[in-house]
Amino acid sequence: MRDSGQLFLMAHQAMVSAGLDVNAIYRRIGYDANKHDMREHRTLHELQLQFWEAIEAVSGDPDIGLRLCPHLPVYRGEILEYLMLSCPRFGEGLHRVVKYLRLVSDAIQARLQVDATTLRISGVVTRLNAPQLRHTEICTLYGMIQFVREMTDGQARLLHVGLRCKRISPQADYERVFGCPVRFEQAESEICVDRALLDFRPSRCNAELFRVHEELAASRLSSLWRQDLIDRIRGVFSRRVEFMDCQLEDVARELEVSPRLLRYKLAQAGTTFSDLLADFRMILARRLLTRTDERLDHIAYVTGFSEPSSFYRAFKRWTGVTPIQYREGHRQPGLDDPSTPSKLKDSAELLLRDPLQARPAPRSSVR
């Protein structure tokens, strides 16, 4: 499960506005704001636990998510906003937002329930079980409410909010922030509003723009599905100790698809099996050179080269320098020194867990 980098940026703005020491928080989670642009990343949802643990530790507030809510900016400037605003009726736009909610996060599951008087937006904000993720639930529901209010020119009349988490702060604190009654320890997260909101007509509705925006949303969602396939293939790569005999047919078997279908889906994603394998080998080689003292001939073997000389030539084409020069120029002190194949395998698996490290590499002609 991954979250859009836009959510991280919204949290960053809220922390700054609330006066939290963001540098201390980022040091705790090992994030360098000058090195990574979160707009370009979908971060692992599991990293939210580390994120909130760090915020709790720095702020000393076990209900910090509630305190941050008033500082959260409205979700703006993304395709879901444009889709909602151009739709003829709020109800239709809301159905589209739920359909494309994965563009925001893989972890959020939502559905709409309508009766004679009530529109209920319910579901699960996070499927992970950890006390600190109460902050994710509280901030997400607050963000959804603000988005609904913004899209309806403030016409949304909240009936109540339901939270799965337990209450920590006084009841009045939650109701002051959400602006309505709040229920706790519910089976699902939910926002309940007046059913009449479904017929609200946005002032900027435009049928032609609505079609354009939905096509764009569908295209982006399709890109995520294609990325899922690539991530699954990389997962297979990460479980191998060496790549000498890594063939498309082997990976297809592990993914339980035919080789022909796998080739077709990769072509749709604009890549090939050979490109993915070469990219992964390059990323793994660079990581092992900078984070371990492993011998070069062993790294060459692990990354799929029969001879160190072939590895040297390939690596210089990848980076413009030799493996030795790269290690000397990028060495990271104080890190583990894996010296067994099992630890090399752990390094490969780490690439899958660390989205900021496993960036797509330039295509290589080395196979």
pLDDT tens figures, 325-344: 999 888 765 544 443 344 44
> Which residues, 6 or more positions from 269, have their beta carbon under 8 angstroms from its beta carbon?
226, 227, 229, 230
Q: Is the pLDDT of residue 42 over 60?
A: yes
Q: How confident is the model at residue 363 (pLDDT cuts 50, 70, 90)?
A: very low
> pLDDT averaged over the chain?
84
- pLDDT tens sequence across 126-152: 878 888 899 999 999 999 999 999 999
Q: Is the pLDDT of residue 345 over 50?
A: no
Instruction: Give the model's pLDDT for residue 347.
Output: 44
Find the DSSP H helices in 155-206.
Answer: 171-178
β-bridge pairing 182-183 and 158-162: parallel
Instruction: Give the model's pLDDT for residue 196.
Output: 92
- The CA distance from 355 to 268, in Å, is 23
Model confidence pTM above 0.85: no
* Angle in degrees, CA 33, 34, 37, rounded to 5: 70
Instruction: Give the model's pLDDT for residue 338.
Output: 40
Q: Is the pLDDT of residue 61 over 50?
A: yes
Q: Is the pLDDT of residue 242 over 80?
A: no
Instruction: Give the model's pLDDT for residue 202.
Output: 86
Instruction: Give the model's pLDDT for residue 270.
Output: 85
Mean pLDDT of 177-206: 93
> Which residues, 6 or more positions from 102, have their beta carbon under 8 angstroms from its beta carbon?
108, 221, 224
- pLDDT tens sequence across 276-304: 988 888 888 898 898 888 889 888 888 88
Domains plus CATH for the chain? Answer: 2-199 (3.90.1520.10), 217-353 (1.10.10.60)
- The CA distance from 109 to 98, in Å, is 8
Per-residue b or e along 127-159, where b marks 16 or more CB atoms closer than 10 Å to that residue's CB: eeeeebbbbbbbbbbbbbbbbbbbbbeeebebe
- The CA distance from 142 to 75, in Å, is 11
Query: Would the CA dihedral through 148, 220, 78, 90 be positive or negative?
Result: negative
Q: How confident is the model at residue 38 (pLDDT cuts 50, 70, 90)?
A: low
Q: Is the pLDDT of residue 261 over 80?
A: yes
- Could you give the 3-state DSSP secondary structure of residue 105? strand
Q: What are phi and psi of 169, to 5 degrees?
A: -80, 170
Q: How confident is the model at residue 207 (pLDDT cuts 50, 70, 90)?
A: confident
Instruction: Give the model's pLDDT for residue 141.
Output: 95
